[in-house]
Amino acid sequence: MTDQLTSPWGITSLPDGRLLITQKGGQVRIVSANGVLGGVITGLPVVNASGQGGLLGLCIDPQFESNRLVYWIFSEPVADGSLTSVARGRLSADEIRIENAAVIYRATPSHTGSAHYGGRILFDLTGHLVVSTGERSDMVTRTQSQLLS
């Protein structure tokens, strides 16, 4: 592996065995099997990296080899606080940027705190995207976080 990353957070394997890794501050990097670290991949939205926020979990689309789509969770700064948000974009063929990044889900309402964003994401065996989020450490929502209703 490598000791060149700053606050690595999420990790997923690319089809060729290299690793796609998020760094809390908002960067994505590719690391080869022998530990060679690629440059910062640009094109992602700004993250709120304070507290427990940042660029969190990520995964690749089950059809990544043909569509090159990457999905990630991040703490999105907004006018009245921040949100746990999910975005997707296409990893460019030269692997230096995410193209057409777009937020596809926002866990509302926004919150002014910087804790409990959550942030894991994956595709299940049937192709559904599964996302976990936190309850944002709010005393009202904390008690509701495990209620299936």
Cα–Cα distance measured from residue 13 to residue 11, given in angstroms and rounded to the nearest whole number: 7
Cα–Cα distance measured from residue 31 to residue 13, given in angstroms and rounded to the nearest whole number: 10
Among residues 28, 47, 25, the alpha carbon closest in space to that of 38 is found at 28
Among residues 15, 75, 20, the alpha carbon closest in space to that of 49 is found at 75
* 116 carries an active-site annotation: yes
Greatest extent of the chain over all pairs of C-alpha atoms, in Å: 47
107, 116, 117, 135: which is the annotated catalytic residue?
Answer: 116
Cα–Cα distance measured from residue 89 to residue 100, given in angstroms and rounded to the nearest whole number: 5
- Structure-token pair, residue 15: 């089809």
Kindly list the catalytic residues. Answer: 116
